[in-house]
Amino acid sequence: MSLIYLAGSLGGIALLVGFNLLLFGRARPQVGTAPEIAARLAKEIPGFRAGRAIVGADGRSAVIENVANRALYLVEAMGDGVVTRQLSHGLLANVGRLGERLSLELRDFTFPRATLVAGSESLAREWESRLKH
């Protein structure tokens, strides 16, 4: 493998990423509305029935309940898609709150933390309590 090949490959990568940016811009990560999140999870999880949900005021994260098994799901916007995790005690390392802002620490190498801006302190407190139980 020659240095020219390596240099050309790096140049090609820069060119392609730049062209991608030019054509498609930067994605604005958004999880969507609660019904949109519910519809998405219903496709992914057999038997999913949406219960209570909270969508962050910044639209970047949400927590939604599956009435079928009482499980809570964290949904976080990433690029033009989302990442979802079922919040079990094994996964959720810590839940913290500062005013209306909830911080979730996860035992997950690629998804170590998430922040949820609840919109009001009372709502944040209510969901903090639910997440801790």
**List of residues contacting another protein (CB under 8 A):** 1, 5-6, 8-10, 12-13, 15-17, 19-21, 23-27, 43-44, 46-47, 76, 78-81, 83-85, 90, 108-112
Token readout for 18 is: 């730049």
Decide whether 59 or 119 has the Cβ nearer to another protein. 59
Q: How far is the CB of 29 from another protein (least distance, A)?
A: 10
Q: How far is the CB of 30 from another protein (least distance, A)?
A: 13
Decide whether 99 or 112 has the Cβ nearer to another protein. 112
Decide whether 82 or 120 has the Cβ nearer to another protein. 82
Pairwise CA distance, residues 108 & 61, whole Å: 17
Q: How far is the CB of 109 from another protein (least distance, A)?
A: 5
Token readout for 3 is: 């240095």
Decide whether 110 or 133 has the Cβ nearer to another protein. 110
DSSP state string for 2-63: -HHHHHHHHHHHHHHHHHHHHHH---------HHHHHHHHHHHSTT--EEEEEE-TTSSEEE
Any bridge partners for residue 83, and if so which?
76
| Residue 62 near residue 75, CB atoms below 8 Å | yes
Q: How far is the CB of 110 from another protein (least distance, A)?
A: 4
